Amino acid sequence: MGKRSRQRQKNQTAGRDSRDNDGWGAGYADIIKENKLFEHYYKELGLVPEGEFDLFMEAMREPLPATIRITGYKSHAKEILHCLKEKYFKDIQELEIDGQKIEAPQPLTWYPDDQAWHTNMSRKIIRKSPLLEKFHQFLVSETESGNISRQEAVSMIPPLLLKIEPHHKILDMCAAPGSKTAQLIEMLHSDMEVPFPEGFVIANDVDNKRCYLLVHQAKRLNSPCIMVVNHDASCIPTLNIDSDGKKDILFYDRILCDVPCSGDGTMRKNIDVWKKWTTSNSLHLHGLQLRIAVRGVEQLAVGGRMVYSTCSLNPIEDEAVIAALLEKSEGALELADGSADLPGLKWMPGVTSWKLMTKEGQWYSDWSEVPSSRHTQIRPTMFPPKDPEKLLGMHLERCMRILPHHQNTGGFFVAVLVKKAPMPWNKKYPKLRKDVSSNSAASTPAEVPHLSENAEGEAGAPGGKVSGEAEEAAPKGASLAQESTTKQDGVCGPPPMKKMKLFGYKEDPFVFLTEDDPVFTTIQSFYNLSPDFPKLNVLTRTHEGKKRHLYMVSKELRNVLLNNSERMKVLYIGVQIATHLFSVLYQGIYTLQPYIHSRIIRVSVEDIKVLLTQENPFLSKLEEDAHSQAKKLGMGSIVLKYIPNPNNPAEPQCPIQLCGWRGKTSIRAFVPFFFFNTYNLPSAQ
């Protein structure tokens, strides 16, 4: 054992010495951006317009431009954009490095209000210029603050096509790492005057560890309308809610179905795909993608929109899934035309015919050609529908395929589905056995309550019929009538449901405070909170002991959590607003501030500069107005509020709210470091 270990160490040392002698980077073979099977496959499919295939392959081999998106719902988004244009972009346009003029960042023409920009600057060039290095530091700090998101350009498309409104209930089925989720949250908060939009986002991912990337994204945006859950999207639980005093099914107004895929559209940034890509990847993923999409439309409300997207160009993962979904729906789903929604975006229409190729190079155009030995790997839903009339009615040309060489992006596929009617399966009311006893026979379907406490997702409709929309939410579950009569003799019914197994890390509980909780007495008087402050929406993460951190959620998410705590694994919800010492936290300042009516000090720009450049400035350092306000307050947590002066455009033109502490003779603002860059203010040294 020892001899083998010493020999291994000797070999490793020899290898390391060899690399050291060969110079930096030696010993790591450069990945060659070639894959003959990939080129042959996409050439044969004809997805790229004639005469453009060489440009397509050339673009695939080029590095992907860096793209940033300014957080749209923040009240200071315009201030950030103004700072970028005036402080950085203008100077970068005149910058030269090694005799070469630097191309300044350019806006994405199809993204609204100049809120997204891309740049081709490499890290090597950034290191050569102090100005570019400063610009890079600005981007990093603003990303941490949630003011800017670094996100691939094509990844921004699906949320825009969903057409989010503040009242929408949204499900993000495969959400990690969370850039699209962040976009959805921003759209919910389009009106910053409303701290609690009626809508919410439930972000889900099957990977427990990747879910914590979602949590990180959620914390950056400080929204009370976000919940992060950990489930397999293909069988994500149906959720119940209280509606007008009755139990009801939660159907979503908008669903983002960004499914796992082979990722051949990401070759520009994920270099590994070049050597790992085969056609088998798509064949293995097609079934999972279809199951996730089916589960999505089951939970979609009639009239709602679901966006299906992949970062793959392969029709097996794209049009084949959409065609199978439309065929299963029997007219309940319709492909929407999104061509006018993003003016300026270049895209190719979806295809109506495609072939399938194995990794050995064998082509199949129809299911009938597939040998029985391959039936487990290749399925009928992977091929286009045979009926020309049915195929024409699907309007697959409304799907959108983004090719990398058209606008210097990654490859992407997106389709918008609108639900016109409930899905066709499980519409029939369940039949009871004929030998029902007289006692059980008296219990007619009309007497069944609206929804059983233990029901997985079925609802009884008036007149004794089960509504198709409610029943489809859990196609494999038992019907309400069956469940309500299972305990009676002589009635056929399903076995009792097993308790759901939860995997991954064990989470602390989410415990809502009662309205008479002692913690509110002190907070109410200290901050003079409005009578309409939603006490019941405040929660903590412990049943016993000190309530060290208080969180706030919207009433709609409270409804969801209270009715489904046993059937879903929740990792994070809401926004942290305060500590057990009743100090307001900067994360929750925008949520709490509308309800606070005391402990507020109105400050000027000069006051903010003093607070940020001095460690613990004396009260006398503030301007006269702020000084007199501070003297009237006792020690403790405070809110510092800046209101812009439209007559002085040189000052920040967006409201600023900070939390702080009023000491015995001094005052302090609690802000993270990124605040200094945002408003072009000097930082404390």
CATH number at residue 306: 3.40.50.150
Residue-number span of the structural domain to which 105 is assigned: 65-150
The chain-wide mean pLDDT, for the chain, equals: 82
Q: Check whether 376 has a pLDDT greater than 50.
A: yes
Cβ atoms < 10 Å from Cβ of 443: 16
**pLDDT tens, residue by residue, 620-657:** 999 999 999 999 999 988 999 998 888 888 888 788 88
Question: 212 and 95 share a domain?
Answer: no
Position 19 in a domain = no
Question: 131 and 256 share a domain?
Answer: no
Question: 86 and 202 share a domain?
Answer: no
C-alpha span between 201 and 180 (Å, rounded): 11
**pLDDT tens, residue by residue, 283-313:** 999 999 999 999 999 999 999 999 999 999 9
**pLDDT tens, residue by residue, 85-129:** 888 888 888 788 877 778 888 999 999 989 999 988 776 777 778
Q: At what angle do helices 208-221 and 179-188 cross, to 10 degrees?
A: 40
Stretch (H or E) spanning 416: strand 412-419
Question: 326 and 406 share a domain?
Answer: yes
Output the six-digit token pair for 444: 């007619």
Backbone angles phi, psi at 220, to 5 degrees: -65, -30
Spot the catalytic one: 83, 211, 225, 311: 311
In this structure, of 335-349, 415-429, 482-496, 544-558, the range with the lowest mean pLDDT score is 482-496
311 is known as an active-site residue: yes
Question: 222 and 194 share a domain?
Answer: yes
Position 444 in a domain = no
The pairing of strands 169-172 and 200-204 is: parallel
Position 79 in a domain = yes
Output the six-digit token pair for 5: 């270990």
- What is the percent of the chain with per-residue pLDDT over 70, rounded to a whole number? 80
Position 543 in a domain = yes
Output the six-digit token pair for 348: 């190719």
Question: 527 and 409 share a domain?
Answer: no
Question: 122 and 195 share a domain?
Answer: no
- What is the pLDDT at residue 418? 97
C-alpha span between 101 and 92 (Å, rounded): 9
DSSP conformational letter for 445: G
Question: 346 and 239 share a domain?
Answer: yes
In this structure, of 73-82, 150-159, 384-393, 463-472, the range with the lowest mean pLDDT score is 463-472
Name the domain boundary from 419, 436, 462: 419
Q: Check whether 470 has a pLDDT greater than 60.
A: no
Question: 137 and 271 share a domain?
Answer: no
Question: 315 and 181 share a domain?
Answer: yes
C-alpha span between 358 and 360 (Å, rounded): 5
Residue numbers belonging to the annotated binding site: 174-180, 205, 232, 258
Question: 141 and 179 share a domain?
Answer: no
Position 462 in a domain = no
pLDDT band at 226, cuts 50/70/90?
very high
Name the domain boundary from 592, 609, 624: 592
Residue numbers belonging to the annotated binding site for S-adenosyl-L-methionine: 174-180, 205, 232, 258
What is the full DSSP assignment across 55-109?
HHHHHHHSPPPEEEEE-TTSTTHHHHHHHIIIIIIHHHHT-EETTEEPPPPEE-T
Name the domain boundary from 104, 121, 150: 150
Position 17 in a domain = no
Position 380 in a domain = no
Position 629 in a domain = yes
C-alpha span between 334 and 636 (Å, rounded): 58
Q: Residue 77: which of 22, 149, 23, 174 has the closest Cα?
A: 149
Is residue 124 within 8 Å of residue 102, measured between CB atoms?
no
Q: Check whether 13 has a pLDDT greater than 70.
A: no
Output the six-digit token pair for 48: 């790229």
- What is the pLDDT at residue 86? 83
Question: 177 and 100 share a domain?
Answer: no
In this structure, of 180-189, 276-285, 670-679, the range with the lowest mean pLDDT score is 670-679
Tally of domains in the chain = 4
